[in-house]
Amino acid sequence: MVNFTVIESPIGELTLVGCRAGLTGLYMTEHRHAPDAATFGEPLTGAWARAEFGAAIDQLQEYFAGERTEFDLPHAGRGTPFQRLVWKALCDVPYGQTISYAQLAARIGNPQAVRAVGLANGRNPISIVVPCHRVIGANGSLTGYGGGVDRKRFLLDLEKMSTVPALLP
């Protein structure tokens, strides 16, 4: 059974979708490539939402507070084998760092698949947790993002601010 809940975040409402296998979706308001909301299942609120999505909610709050650099959540995004390969590789991009589409294609052993990697990245159903925002253009530009380039910039800036070493007194 699939359920969902909506939470507030610094980048607006986030819709968390999940089933017994784990988180299957994390979508932002006006998220490009989001599936029809009718596929999200039954809405959960209050204690029911906390019981189903408590770990995801807590970890997202810690992430936005700059206290979490990795997510430890079971997730099961639906996609083709190629898409799942790309999404798995995204999870290996360290917090606070970026990678180009070409570098990501090389990491999965298919350096000619830059365009396909970009398409798979754009179809990532579990934004933030599977950090597709860390992929940028070869020239360093912030290319498209399912949640919008402004949100991508916010997430990258959040991670940069959290990784700046403290100055000694």
Report, as residue numbers or ranges, the catalytic residues. 132
Cα 124 to Cα 147: distance, rounded to the nearest angstrom: 11
Under the phi-then-psi rule, with left for phi > 0, alpha for psi from -120 to 50, and beta for the rest, what region is 62? Answer: alpha
Cα 43 to Cα 110: distance, rounded to the nearest angstrom: 40
The b/e string for 97-114 (b: 16+ C-beta within 10 A; e otherwise) is ebbbbbbbbbbbeeeebb
- Helix, strand, coil shares of the chain, percent, nearest 5, are 40, 15, 45
Cα 13 to Cα 138: distance, rounded to the nearest angstrom: 30
Residue 153 one-letter amino acid: R
β-pair type (99-100, 135-136):
parallel
